Structure 1
Amino acid sequence: MRLPGSNAPARLREAALTAWSERLSRGYLVLLAVCAVWSMTGGAGLGEDGPLARNIAVVLTLPWLLVVHLFLVVTQVDTWLLGYNFYFESPAWLFEPLWVLYCLTAGLLNARLLARVSRSAREAGSAPWWVPMFTLAFFGGLFALWHA
């Protein structure tokens, strides 16, 4: 008998290969991984706490972060069930491993999307610089709005 989702490692491997297949998505993943690990070590007290690294990681995963934040604000499960808000009343080092896991998951989803868009734009015959420039403009605009 086969359980639903038992092919999850194969699907994860396929998603990672798709995300790693394009140069733009590889650059995105590397930048996000460096910023996520750098901000985690700073937040856990193991290194320099650079706010720029965390801000870049937040902007690179912003669409997913807004969904997670909206879910947590709307539900407030921890406050309703326990009368304790984990996010505001717990030490920062408790959430740093979850932060890296979130960044890896959101980064993989965004990198797959970038790889698919780059591949489809290339197959449609558009200019090869269109998708990277739009991506830089999009994340640059988000960064500017984040710091405005």
Structure 2
Amino acid sequence: MTAWSEPLSRGYLVLLAVCAVWSMTGGIGLGQEGWQVRGIAVVLTLPWLFVVHLFLVVTQVDIWLLGYNFYAESPAWLFEPLWALYCLTAGLLNARLLARWSRSAREAGSAPWWVPMFAVAFFAGLFALWHA
């Protein structure tokens, strides 16, 4: 079974795709750049963003290889293709996890609303902590 077969995963993927594309168009200058949309996309992919960020902080690959901070000195539009690839990868991983948890909760006999309620509460809590 794919992640697309579960309603929760489908909703998650659609929300993430809309936020990622909307923030990407603002990042390359085709639309209004708003922090809220990118913030929602960041929160929806947050567990994987921590892994990527920690890898970059620990290794400091850009400073070692290039001799300057690539992220601070480069234009924002340069990172938008990487942002799209990251959102696609992290979104598919999270959607598969949500689908697996939904199916296992249903098979265990739990109420069908436990996993969606927990997922919404989890991401809303992360968004609240991020803006606190």
Q: TM-score range by the shorter chain?
A: over 0.9
Q: Does 1:18 align with 2:2?
A: yes
Structure (1 or 2) with the larger CA radius of gyration: 1
Matched with 2:42 is 58
- Where does structure 1 lack aligned partners over 5 or more consecutive residues? 1-16
Distance 1:133 1:37 in 2: 26
Give CA deviations for 1:26-78 in whole Å, capped at 9, x if unaligned.
00000000000000000111101121110000000000001000000100111
Question: CA RMSD, aligned part only?
Answer: 0.8
Alignment of 1:60-139 (within 5 A): 60-139=44-123
Q: Which amino acid aligns with 1:83?
A: G
Q: How far is the alpha carbon of 1:84 from its aligned partner?
A: 1.9
TM-score, scaled to structure 1: 0.87
**Which residue number corresponds to residue 9 of structure 1?**
none
Partner of residue 17 from structure 2, selected from 33, 39, 50 = 33
Number of matched pairs: 132
Which runs of 5 or more structure 2 residues have no equivalent in the other structure?
none
Aligned to 1:7: none
* Distance in 2, Cα, partners of 1:104 & 1:142: 20
Identity %: 87
Bigger Cα displacement from structure 2, 77-86 vs 98-107: 77-86
TM-score (norm 2): 0.98
